[in-house]
């Protein structure tokens, strides 16, 4: 016998209190499941409703007739047994005619007059939602041949596909910003054979509101003023495909890598001058993360070399090489703290003069001979300042 009867969605009614909670909150991190929230006694059923359309994307007519059969299958249908939506509330699969419906699953079926069957979700709040699941053919004899769709507000296609198999899921996952009252339709039609026979099609879908994005870290955390454009890696959680990295509140060109990683292009003009920028992540209709500071340094000094010797009194003389690896001059360079093997220099502060961009400068330090014995490998640590910035560095050196 041919599979005429479509299958519904999982049995669970929203209580009035639960629905009130959804309507009063922004819906963040709330998940809606078409199967576990199925009802064959209410239509609409909270955020879910079940009906048919004369063609894909046409006006929705709600099913008015609920029913159950001898195997406990629950369904909604119109004047005819198809189109319809079915649900198996049993703990085991049920086979009828030429289809098998697994436990706790729903299916739907197009109508004999070309009608599409529809399961509709209506957004209770604004936000960014992740819509994921699959369509699957449940008719094992024909097998199922249907066209399937996920539509936003009944007209904007989010996913389209065709089923021409038995028990092979056709997966979908899309992210969409919604306003309260917007709809997401899951829609099944005739398919390529232009026949409604044998078209029992399963639907497994969950819709989850994205959480407000969380920003945990930046890489890099700073850049030199006057430098070139670069890519900023932003790490955190709750990112969506429509999230943007914002620089002082203005969106950057952003690439979605995963829910935990975004990459953003930072133009050179944004780091032309020393200062600080605040970086945030925004997901439309969902929210904006807390900020992380990004430092724009005047320039960067790096300790690259140290030449050590002993004078006639046994003191250790150190000549340091400081490299300016930034794009602006470092003026009035001064070493304010220095230790050799934990022993402080005796001639602080020590001047390093001015060091032009991409150039080297030197500074001289004196340490007591008690810093160590000849041939000993120790740590040399220095820190200091220049007009508009600070620096620090360390090297392993061998005592003379």
**In a 3-state reduction of DSSP, which class is residue 306?**
strand
Phi-psi label, residue 287: left if phi above 0, alpha if psi -120 to 50, beta otherwise: left
- Residue 129 contacts residue 209 (beta carbons within 8 Å): yes
DSSP string, 99-119: EEE-TT-EEEE--TTSPEEEE
Q: pTM of the entire structure?
A: 0.58
Among residues 59, 162, 81, 174, the alpha carbon closest in space to that of 128 is found at 174
Question: Which residues face 277 on adjacent strands?
Answer: 294
92-97 contacts at long range (C-beta below 8 A, 24 or more positions apart): 96/3, 96/5, 96/69, 96/71, 97/1, 97/2, 97/3, 97/4, 97/5
**CA–CA dist 186, 336 (Å, integer):** 69
One pLDDT digit (tens) per residue for the chain, 400 residues: 234 443 333 323 233 333 333 333 333 458 999 999 999 999 999 999 999 999 888 999 999 999 999 999 999 997 667 899 999 999 999 999 999 999 999 999 999 988 999 999 999 988 778 899 999 999 999 999 999 999 999 999 999 999 999 999 999 999 888 899 999 999 999 998 888 999 999 999 999 987 889 999 999 999 999 999 999 999 999 898 889 999 999 999 999 999 999 999 999 999 999 999 999 999 877 789 999 999 999 999 999 999 999 999 999 999 999 999 999 999 999 999 999 999 999 999 999 999 999 999 999 999 999 999 999 999 999 999 999 999 999 999 999 9
- Are 16-209 and 214-297 the same fold in CATH? no
Ranges of each domain in the chain: 16-209, 214-297, 301-398
Q: Which CATH class is domain 16-209?
A: mainly beta
pLDDT score recorded for residue 316: 97
Give the distance from CA 21 to its chain's centroid.
Answer: 26
Q: Which CATH class is domain 301-398?
A: mainly beta
Question: Which residues face 287 on adjacent strands?
Answer: 283
Q: Which CATH architecture has domain 214-297?
A: Sandwich (2.60)
Q: Which strands form 230-237's sheet, in the order they lie side by side? A: 214-219, 230-237, 261-266, 253-258
**CA–CA dist 87, 360 (Å, integer):** 76
Among residues 128, 395, 163, the alpha carbon closest in space to that of 282 is found at 128
Cα angle, residue 335 at apex, residues 334 and 341 outer, rounded to 5°: 170
């Amino acid at each position: 016998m041919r599979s005429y009867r479509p299958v519904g969605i999982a049995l669970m009614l929203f209580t009035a209190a639960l629905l009130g909670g959804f309507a009063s909150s922004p819906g963040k991190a709330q998940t809606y499941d078409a199967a576990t929230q199925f009802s064959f006694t209410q239509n609409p059923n909270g955020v879910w409703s079940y009906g048919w359309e004369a063609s894909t994307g046409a006006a929705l007519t709600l099913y008015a007739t609920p029913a159950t059969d001898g195997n406990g299958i629950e369904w909604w249908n119109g004047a005819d047994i198809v189109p319809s939506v079915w649900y198996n509330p049993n703990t085991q699969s049920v086979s009828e005619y030429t289809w098998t419906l697994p436990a706790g699953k729903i299916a739907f079926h197009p109508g004999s007059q070309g009608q599409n069957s529809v399961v509709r979700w209506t957004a209770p709040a604004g936000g960014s939602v992740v819509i994921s699941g699959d369509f699957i053919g449940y008719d094992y004899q024909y097998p199922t041949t249907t066209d399937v769709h996920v539509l936003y507000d009944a007209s904007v296609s989010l996913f389209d596909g065709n089923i021409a198999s038995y028990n092979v899921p056709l997966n979908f996952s899309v992210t969409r910003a919604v306003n309260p009252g917007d709809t997401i339709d899951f829609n099944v039609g005739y398919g390529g054979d232009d026949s409604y026979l044998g078209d029992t099609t399963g639907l497994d879908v969950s819709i989850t509101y994205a959480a407000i994005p969380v920003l945990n870290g930046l890489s890099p955390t700073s850049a030199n003023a006057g430098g070139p454009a670069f890519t900023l890696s932003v790490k955190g959680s709750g990112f969506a495909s429509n999230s943007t990295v914002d620089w002082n509140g203005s969106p950057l060109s952003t690439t979605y890598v995963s829910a935990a990683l975004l990459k953003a292009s930072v133009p050179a003009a944004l780091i032309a001058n020393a200062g600080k920028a605040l970086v945030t992540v925004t997901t439309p209709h969902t929210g904006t993360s807390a900020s992380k500071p990004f430092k724009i340094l005047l320039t960067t000094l790096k300790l690259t070399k140290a030449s050590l010797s002993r004078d006639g009194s046994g003191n250790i003389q150190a000549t340091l090489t400081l490299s300016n690896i930034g794009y602006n001059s470092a003026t009035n360079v001064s070493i304010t703290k220095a230790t050799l093997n934990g022993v402080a220099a005796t001639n602080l502060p020590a001047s390093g003069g001015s060091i032009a961009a991409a150039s080297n400068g030197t500074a001289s330090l004196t340490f007591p001979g008690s810093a160590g014995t000849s041939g000993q490998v120790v740590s040399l640590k220095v820190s200091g300042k220049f007009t508009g910035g600070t620096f620090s560095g360390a090297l392993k050196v061998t005592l003379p």
